[in-house]
Amino acid sequence: MQTREVLCKRRISATEEKILDDSACAPPRPSFTEPCNNHSCPPEWLALDWSECTPSCGPGYRHRVVLCKSGESGDTLPESKCPKQGRPTSRVRCNLQRCPPPQWVMGPWGECSAKCGLGQEMRSVQCLTHTGQPSNECLDHQRPAAMQQCKSNCDLTLPVSTDNPEECKDVNTVAYCPLVLRFKFCSRPYFRQMCCKTCQGH
């Protein structure tokens, strides 16, 4: 719709006019509005807000929903109705911050290898990313020791399963016995007894 001003005026002189009440002018009063742009509006793209950057560190992406809308009713239309060239992008690269570097992560120390006196104990040492994935980017010279010397009290006796003495099972923690197997300690009687199930067949 377009509008215009319609006034009732009386010319007093060549350079002066006076605005009068509308009733002073003869009807009909000219229209001060009329329709315009009577052709249909074409469909158009509508882009919604961007999402947060994912993941929260390192290279990532922001996403947004892009819709094809009717220019008049605002209804959602198939994307084929909107011009292909003008479609807004729905994904952009982003990088909020650098990810923490991978770090050496240690497990708990296992049992001492000696029944009595000096022996050795082991633990798992892994290079992991901030999300817990294995990595090979940790510095070797910073790698913590996976084995150290230990001393067992000679007064203590080995734990014995009272449920079924014949049953072959791992007495130690789950993380400990795989290390025994990895370092080929199953040939030693103490380790073979403590990790019976893991050492079977090795």
Is residue 142 scored above 70 in pLDDT? yes
Contact 159, 193 (CB under 8 A): no
- The model's pTM is 0.42
Give domain limits for the chain. Answer: 2-34, 44-94, 103-199
Q: How far is CA 174 from the centre of its chain?
A: 31
Instruction: Look at the block and give the residue holding tokens 């992991």.
Output: 128
For 23-38, how does the pLDDT look when each residue is reduced to its tens digit (9 = 90+)?
889 899 999 999 887 7
Residues in the chain: 202
The whole-angstrom separation of Cα 58 and Cα 62 is 13
Q: Which two tokens stand for residue 31?
A: 């229209």
The whole-angstrom separation of Cα 110 and Cα 6 is 97
> What is the predicted pLDDT for the residue at 162?
45
The whole-angstrom separation of Cα 49 and Cα 153 is 67
Q: Give, as one character, the DSSP assignment of residue 15.
A: S
The whole-angstrom separation of Cα 191 and Cα 145 is 20
Residue 181, burial from CB neighbour count under 10 angstroms (0-12, 13-18, 19+): middle
For 56-100, how does the pLDDT look when each residue is reduced to its tens digit (9 = 90+)?
888 899 999 999 998 777 889 999 999 988 899 999 999 888 888
